[in-house]
Amino acid sequence: MEVLVVGGGPSGLVAAREASLYGVDVTLIEEDKEIGKPDHCAGLVSIDGLKKILGDYENIILNKIKNVRIISPMGKVYEINLGKYKAAVIDREKFDLELMKRAEKSGVKILTNTCFNSSFKYKIMINAEGVKARICRKFGLEIPKSIPAIQYDVEVKNYENDLVEIYLGKWSPKFFVWVVPRDDCIRIGTASHSTSHPSNLIQKFIEKNPYFKNKEILRIRKKLYGKIVISGPVNNTSKNNIISVGDAAGFVKPTTGGGIVFGCYTAKIAGKIVALSIRNNIKLSDFDKIWKKYYSLEFKKMKFIAKIFRSMNKYELEKILYEIYKLGIFNELSSYDMDFQGELISRIIKSRLFIHGIYLIPKILKTYIFE
């Protein structure tokens, strides 16, 4: 075969399809028995991103989101009405299966229940294995930094199906707890930077958070374990005849841990580069030049603001949230792109928040240099 794709998530499927569309022979292998299972994703994706990835996307949506509720470390509630639907909660299985159908239609051969081994012969491998890092370790590729995460699917008596909630502070130090509405339940999740396992954080949150307890839990349906990439993209995604995409390359927003949209955008570029590398003998390393041209600044801004957030204590975070509220930035969110957060970050930096945050700069620089 000419191209072997290891991993049948969104990035692997998009990269495989794109390479096949450019006329090369592509085989994709997935270690799980079915594409789209198990589902470890919160499923919250921007509607603009969905349109660019799929075009027609209505059949994969569980809920559309136009309201956000942020609960501060001290319990202050900020209600944000986006004015229009900016995001959607998707059925990841249906989303992945749609991408699979398109890949197969383009000529990609897909083998499920199949792990990588030395018997596979290929000219180029696309590493789309996610955060497992087995391929990265085996072949000496860069590995993005990740932290453990957990999600619970919980049945409750009452929830709003167009509302996402974000809980900050002690419930998830240096990160946050998210509550996302699904079809007949809510998905609660967090990730842990600390020594506390995320399962302990979530359990404590469910049992003791006074605001969340109003939802009246009926039962916990299932628990989902995984990891979230927080470092952003690696410096070099390729080595010899192997190129990494998606979570394996760190194409995940450092601010939120969301990786579907940027993963698919960059995987499309990677698929084209791989095909042209086989047909026209261009270098795989050209992929780094191209994605950096379009997305490097966005990732740098998101990584910077994420480091600022994670350097704050609860009192500093409380003050910053209040200043954001007073400046009316929460009310402006509908005018900003949910994925390309650089414009919003620039808006915050140019505001008087920068003056309020001056005292944080030594801490921020220390975090940036030594982390």
Q: What angle do CA 166, 76, 253 make, to 5 degrees?
A: 25
Phi, psi dihedral angles at 338 (to 5 degrees): -65, -30
Query: What integer is the mean pLDDT of 161-184?
Result: 93
Q: What is the mean pLDDT of residues 305-318?
A: 87
List, for residues 88-114, the tens digit of each pLDDT value: 999 999 999 999 999 999 999 999 999
Give me the domains of the chain, ranges plus CATH numbers: 3-61+90-145+231-296 (3.50.50.60), 146-229 (3.30.9.10), 298-370 (no CATH)
C-alpha angle with apex 248: 242 to 253, nearest 5 degrees? Answer: 135
Name which of 91, 65, 59 is nearest 80 in CA terms: 65
> Can you give the pLDDT at residue 371?
46
**Helix ranges restricted to H, the chain:** 10-21, 47-54, 92-106, 134-139, 198-208, 260-280, 286-311, 314-327, 342-350, 353-356, 361-370
Q: What phi and psi, each to the nearest 5 degrees, are found at residue 302?
A: -65, -40
Mean of pLDDT values over 28-42: 89
* Residue range 48-58, pLDDT digits in tens: 999 999 987 78
Give percent of the chain above pLDDT 90: 66
Which residues are bridge partners to 244 per DSSP? 127
pLDDT score for 58: 82
Which ranges of 22-142 does DSSP label H, i.e. alpha helix?
47-54, 92-106, 134-139
Query: How many Cβ atoms from other residues are within 10 Å of residue 333's Cβ?
Result: 15
